[in-house]
Structure 1
Amino acid sequence: MLKFVFWVLVALNAALFAYAQGYLGKPAGGEREPERLKNQLAAERMVLLSPAEARAAAQTPAAPAALLVQEPAPAPVPPALETVDCTQAGAFAASDARRFETRIARLDLGARATRTSVPFQEVTSHLVYLPPNGGKEGADRRVAELKEKGVQNFFVMQGDSPLRWAVSLGVFKTEAAAQSLVTALGKQGVRGVRVLPRGPQGTRATWQFRDLTAEERSRVAGIADDFAGVELRACQ
């Protein structure tokens, strides 16, 4: 029995000796120190630190690792729509105002569309005249000049009005007819002739629109174009 144990120990020692000498192959990662240093990549770049440098390196805090996950970019903010501060449409006669109001309601502008009333003169005639200049004496002087130029149709306006002592040269229903007389008088040498629209004063409806987009203003303008004499302009 002792012989058997003896030979077992001898065999184990022989196996360990052969393993240490590499006769049985080198274990993975088990190179000896000289061979391990020889097999290192870029061994010439290795620097041996002094004890002071090693302590300083150990005390230097490591830089924080960069975050691998980036925050998503914020969604783009759509540009604000440009708006027109105030647009006014008018003036409307009573019948036209009702039709315009019905069509504007379809745009659903809410409180941004308001109806107002403005003074308006219903023009029924056009006065061709020489404005007052120098009271009665000025009017007499004008009359004498007109007679010298061959003008016979005129009369001096009196009464308590801003046109007192003006010289009327004719009243016409249309502005075109009034302007024709102005041209004819100019050829006769009469200067300073004016045309004054006349008629009763009243009110007419207008609409004011606030903060309209370009598209909304275009639609309002399209509706206003269907009404004769209606203007679209800026307001405050």
Structure 2
Amino acid sequence: MKKILWALIAVNVIFFAVMKSGIFEGHPDAPVLAAINADKITLTITAPSVPVAVSEPVAISAVLAVSEPVLPAPVAAIVATRSCFEWGEFTGAELDKAAAALNKIVPGDKLSQREVDRVIGFWVYIAPLKDNGAVIQKLAQLKARGVTDFFVVQEAGEWQNAISLGLFKTREAAQSFIEGLRKKGVNSAKMGERSSKSKTVIFVFDGLDVKMSAKLAVLQKEFAASELKSVSCH
């Protein structure tokens, strides 16, 4: 056993001496261990060439929420500048002249007209009384309060036994007269419009743009007695 032990020791000593001598350096078959820097390693992963299943296309309308339409800025600006007017009142030759002029500057779908009773003034009155006895009593009251200018409507109809106290061209004048009567203690007087049997025409304009509105304003000056007013668009 001692011989075997000494033999193994001798072999190890010889092997160690050979390794220290560098006899295997530069040999092409000698293993070379290179230092590895972990921070310089690049890991490349290649995806497997497995076909991917494509699902059925989804309709956009099912994904996107439906919102209110938004007008482009130029269109919104045009809509915001559209205006509506009424122009009147016209009868006879003036009506024909105005209609002919409007046909040249306003499209038919933006123009209409309506008829109204022609107001020729305003009157202040006391509503119809039930009989002649009531009329006589009311006239006595008026005289006692200093009102002597009146007229009793005797014509059969809805205004029979009404008492007219005055006729006026303007609403303001009629209203001022009523205020004077109240100061005298006459509180039953009213104001009403006096209309003629003939009708007048008012032109109605819906959604005119800036250019047409300007032309209409110029045309209105040719009819001094007419009134052009802005109204709400429907």
| Match in the other structure for 1:112 | 109
Q: Identity rate of aligned residues, in percent?
A: 24
| Match in the other structure for 1:155 | 151
| Match in the other structure for 1:128 | 124
Q: Give me the whole-angstrom Cα distance separating, in 2, the residues matched to 1:220 and 1:86.
A: 14
Deviations 1:143-186 (A, max 9, x none): 23112213223233233222222112234566666556434433
Q: TM-score, normalised by structure 1?
A: 0.55
Which range moved further: 172-181 or 158-167? 172-181
Q: Give me the whole-angstrom Cα distance separating, in 2, the residues matched to 1:180 and 1:43.
A: 106
| Match in the other structure for 2:218 | 223
Q: Which one of the candidate residues 156, 163, 167 is aligned to 2:163?
A: 167
Q: One-letter code of the match for 2:48? A: Q
Q: Give me the whole-angstrom Cα distance separating, in 2, the residues matched to 1:149 and 1:58.
A: 112
Q: Give me the whole-angstrom Cα distance separating, in 2, the residues matched to 1:48 and 1:166.
A: 111
Secondary structure of the 2:154 match is coil
Segments of structure 2 that go 5 or more residues without pairing to the other structure are 1-31, 51-70
Distance 1:180 1:208, change over 3 A: closer
The offset of 1:95, in angstroms, is 3.5
Deviations 1:78-103 (A, max 9, x none): 43231648543222233433443344
Q: How does 1:168-183 map to 2 (within 5 A)?
A: 168-172=164-168, 178-179=174-175, 181-183=177-179
Q: Give me the whole-angstrom Cα distance separating, in 2, the residues matched to 1:166 and 1:48.
A: 111
| Match in the other structure for 2:198 | 202
CA RMSD of aligned residues (A): 4.2
Contact 1:94 1:205 survives alignment (8 Å): no
Q: TM-score, normalised by structure 2?
A: 0.55
Secondary structure of the 2:156 match is coil
The total of aligned residue pairs comes to 180
Segments of structure 1 that go 5 or more residues without pairing to the other structure are 1-33, 62-76
Contact 1:100 1:223 survives alignment (8 Å): no
